[in-house]
Amino acid sequence: MASAGSISMTAAGVSVRLHPACRVRQEGFGLLFYDARGPRLLFAPTGNMLPRDYFDTVRLIDELPEGLSESQKSSLRKFTKQLVDKGYLREQ
């Protein structure tokens, strides 16, 4: 199994989920991720593109909500990779 930081965003079938030590809170700017292992914070200016509980369930790494523009999809793919690289999401 690949380590979380080595997941390729083009890898088909790779699933991720919020790490059990991490929490997400909805804020006016988007999502605030908190990592109790650090503690560390990650401010995510996602607006209303993602609900607070989006990563509470197992999702394919390239799975995104419906109705987003290509630009929004691209931004969220980069953001998801950042969450994996920083350990907020882990491979399932």
pLDDT in tens, 73-92: 999 989 999 999 999 999 88
* Model pLDDT, residue 3: 43
Q: Which residue has the higher pLDDT, 29 or 6?
A: 29
* Domain-located, residue 34: yes
| Residue 7 resides in a domain | no
Specify if 1 maps to a domain.
no
* Cα–Cα distance list, 35 to 9, 31, 43, 46, 88 (Å): 22, 13, 12, 18, 7
- What pLDDT was estimated at residue 12? 58
pLDDT in tens, 7-35: 444 455 789 999 999 999 999 999 999 99
Q: State the residue range of the domain holding 25.
A: 15-91
> What's the burial of 32, exposed, middle or buried (CB within 10 Å: 0-12/13-18/19+)?
middle
In a domain, 10, yes or no: no
For residue 86, what are the CA distances in angstroms to 8, 21, 26, 67?
14, 13, 19, 27
How many domains does the structure of the chain reveal?
Answer: 1
Summarize pLDDT for 32-51 with one digit per residue, the tens.
Answer: 999 999 889 999 999 989 99
pTM of the model: 0.80
Q: Does residue 6 lie within any of the structural domains?
A: no
pLDDT at position 82 is 92
Is the pLDDT reported for residue 63 higher than 50? yes
